[in-house]
Amino acid sequence: MKKKKKVSKVYVGMSADIIHEGHINILKIASGYGEVIVGLLTDSAISSYKKIPYLNYKRRKTIVQNIKYVKKVVPQFTLDYVENLKLIKPNYLVHGDDWKIGIQRKTRLRAIKTIKKWGGKLIEPQYTKNISSTIIKNKIREIGNSPRDRVSQLRRLLNSKNITRILESHNALTGIIIENLKFIKKNTNLEFDGMWSSSLTDSATKGKPDNSSVDFSSRISSLNEMMDVTSKPLVFDADNGGQIEHLPFLIRSLERAGVSSIIMEDKIGLKRNSLFNDQKNTQQDKPETFAKKIKKVCESRFSDDFLVIARIESFILGKGLNDAIRRAEIYSKSGADAILIHSKEKTPKQIFAFAKKFKKSKNFIPLVSVPSTYSRVYEKDLVNNGFKLVIYANQLLRAAYPAMENAAKSILKNGRAYEIDKKIIPIKKIINLIKND
Ligand code: SPV
Ligand code: MG
């Protein structure tokens, strides 16, 4: 009997979020060396170093496995190739030569070292110039993403990241900062995952107190301005959600705008910001009554990806752990997707005690933290204590206000603008900040 020639195994790792001719070129070249196995990066693997992909793993897999050059698709759970390479032991590893520099440089070196062990070869076709998923993604962002895609992003982030990081945004410009800011630390691309539409900073921006005097229509019109220039998800601070009969209308407007989540707090009566010391006129809602609001949101939402987060104010109002836990159980059972356990202590002790106890419950759902007063807490400690979402609720407005006041003061003091000129962004930079073409 004639011995069948063994076909070589060729490994190609990719995200394949937006397929373009560069991917096809790589796969075509790879197929010339043998049978192509694509290691498709999972959502978690991708979001460990850059923005979560537009299409989820399942959708990307369907596309890639139907490309004629591809024999098989397997998940690649990390940015690092070593695990899959050891498992598959390919004769060839094919990757565009763009990974020689930048964030993937070390990943490449580790992959080379690994395949050397069984004599595997690295093939690096030249990177297709002027085309990349990032270029296409930027173009898409200019057009704007569909509200439906944006709504689902937060749930996907919660499912794929250790911790999802949200920052307060009170206008379109702060939205742009959150959208674009990147910081590379230890080979990881850090960025904010989304925006928080805060009742406090939205009201303050409009010169009003945080007592619901800025109505939802006005809040939604400012968040629409942020939505116009960003693609990341937005979490809406709805105070106590207002009247239960009005909730379906609010949810409809939020979903239509592309908002990913509503957070409602279990307080009643005239709204007072939770960080005020004096809370003596503030009342907490009966948990059973508040639970009805949660149910109402669940019934009225168009998409299950629109998350309802219940915010427990027990600690703010001086009540104990047992009250907070009892409420968490009730809110979870009535359909909440996550719990924001609020606190105005200087340390996270209180919320960690809550997390420890609630984690044991069969009704446990992901936890959200707002570290405004306990700002020393590190994200890694929040993760270790079971928190999945962190909201930095007011820092951009707090940064902007003293800077603006200082500039105004300097002009008054000096009788001219020269002194402050060197300390503020140059005119040239500000006119070029927003692209015109
Ligand atoms: C907000 O940012 O408006 C909040 C958080 O609700 S807090 O100010 O702590 O109440
Ligand atoms: Mg608020």
> What would the pLDDT profile of 267-301 be if each residue is shown by its tens digit?
998 787 888 777 777 899 999 999 999 999 999 99
Q: How far apart are CA 298 and CA 318, in angstroms?
A: 29
Residue 372 falls inside a structural domain? yes
Residue 357 falls inside a structural domain? yes
Atom of ligand 1 nearest to the CA of 168: 2
Q: How far apart are CA 111 and CA 79, in angstroms?
A: 11
Q: What is the dihedral of CA 232, 128, 89, 45, to 10 degrees?
A: -10
**Tokens coding 126:** 């030249």
Q: What is the mean pLDDT of residues 383-392?
A: 97
Q: Is the pLDDT of residue 426 over 70?
A: yes
If asked whether residues 419 and 275 sit together in one domain, one would say: no
- Sign for the pseudo-dihedral over CA of 50, 51, 55, 56: positive
**Best probe residue, ligand 1, of 372, 373, 396, 397 (max atoms within 8 Å of C-beta):** 372
Q: Which of 17, 80, 210, 305 is catalytic?
A: 210
Can 210 be counted among the known catalytic residues?
A: yes
**The total number of structural domains that make up the chain:** 3
Domain edge (last residue) among 75, 103, 134: 134
If asked whether residues 223 and 115 sit together in one domain, one would say: no
pLDDT at 273: 83
Ligand nearest to the CA of 392: 1
Do residues 230 and 176 lie in contact, with contact meaning Cβ atoms separated by under 8 Å? yes
153 lines ligand 1 (CB under 6 A): no
pLDDT at 39: 97
Q: How far apart are CA 55 and CA 153, in angstroms?
A: 10
Can you tell me whether residue 334 is helix, strand or coil?
A: coil
Which range, of 20-24, 243-247, 315-319, averages the lowest pLDDT? 20-24
What stretch of H or E contains 31? helix 21-31
Q: How many CA atoms lie within 13 A of 90 on its CB side?
A: 28
**Best probe residue, ligand 1, of 166, 195, 198, 396 (max atoms within 8 Å of C-beta):** 198
If asked whether residues 415 and 345 sit together in one domain, one would say: no
**Best probe residue, ligand 1, of 223, 274, 277, 389 (max atoms within 8 Å of C-beta):** 274
372 lines ligand 1 (CB under 6 A): yes
If asked whether residues 183 and 128 sit together in one domain, one would say: no
Alpha carbon of 322 to ligand 1 centroid (Å):
23
Q: How far apart are CA 45 and CA 57, in angstroms?
A: 10
Domain edge (last residue) among 116, 134, 152: 134
Residue 2 falls inside a structural domain? no
274 lines ligand 1 (CB under 6 A): yes
Domain edge (last residue) among 134, 158, 188: 134
Alpha carbon of 198 to ligand 2 centroid (Å):
5
If asked whether residues 240 and 150 sit together in one domain, one would say: yes
The pLDDT tens digits of the residues spanning 127-186 come to 777 777 777 777 666 666 788 889 999 999 999 999 999 999 999 999 999 999 999 887
Interaxial angle between packed helices 247-257 and 287-300, expressed in degrees from 0 to 180 and rounded to the nearest 10: 50
Residue 125 falls inside a structural domain? yes
Q: What is the mean pLDDT of residues 383-407?
A: 98
Percent of the chain with pLDDT over 90: 80
The residues, any chain, with a CB within 8 Å of residue 102's CB and separated by 6 or more, are none
Alpha carbon of 210 to ligand 1 centroid (Å):
9
If asked whether residues 79 and 193 sit together in one domain, one would say: no
pLDDT at 132: 73
Residue ranges making up the domain that contains 404 = 399-433
If asked whether residues 351 and 294 sit together in one domain, one would say: yes
Residue 414: how many other CB atoms lie within 10 Å: 11
Q: How far apart are CA 215 and CA 242, in angstroms?
A: 10
Residue 4 falls inside a structural domain? no
Q: Is the pLDDT of residue 55 over 60?
A: yes
If asked whether residues 216 and 351 sit together in one domain, one would say: yes
CATH number of the domain bearing residue 70: 3.40.50.620
Q: How far apart are CA 230 and CA 259, in angstroms?
A: 12
CATH number of the domain bearing residue 308: 3.20.20.60
Among 49, 65, 69, CA closest to 16? 65
Q: Is the pLDDT of residue 342 over 70?
A: yes
pLDDT at 159: 94
If asked whether residues 346 and 406 sit together in one domain, one would say: no
Q: How far apart are CA 191 and CA 167, in angstroms?
A: 10
Q: Could you report how far apart the first and last alpha carbons of the chain are, in Å?
A: 68
Residue 1 falls inside a structural domain? no
If asked whether residues 186 and 286 sit together in one domain, one would say: yes
Q: Is the pLDDT of residue 10 over 80?
A: yes
If asked whether residues 263 and 359 sit together in one domain, one would say: yes
The pLDDT tens digits of the residues spanning 344-356 come to 999 999 999 999 9
The residues, any chain, with a CB within 8 Å of residue 99's CB and separated by 6 or more, are 105, 107, 108
Residue 3 falls inside a structural domain? no
pLDDT at 3: 61
Percent of the chain with pLDDT over 70: 97
Predicted model pTM: 0.85
Instruction: Give the bridge partners for 197, in sequence order.
Output: 236
If asked whether residues 169 and 75 sit together in one domain, one would say: no
> For all residues of the chain together, what is the average pLDDT?
93
Please identify every residue whose CB atom is under 5 Å from ligand 2, which is an ion.
199-200, 237
Which backbone phi and psi does 396 adopt, to 5 degrees?
-70, -40
The pLDDT tens digits of the residues spanning 95-136 come to 998 888 877 888 999 999 999 999 999 999 987 777 777 777
What stretch of H or E contains 390? strand 387-392
Q: Is the pLDDT of residue 222 over 70?
A: yes
Q: Is the pLDDT of residue 415 over 70?
A: yes
Residue 181 falls inside a structural domain? yes
pLDDT at 437: 60
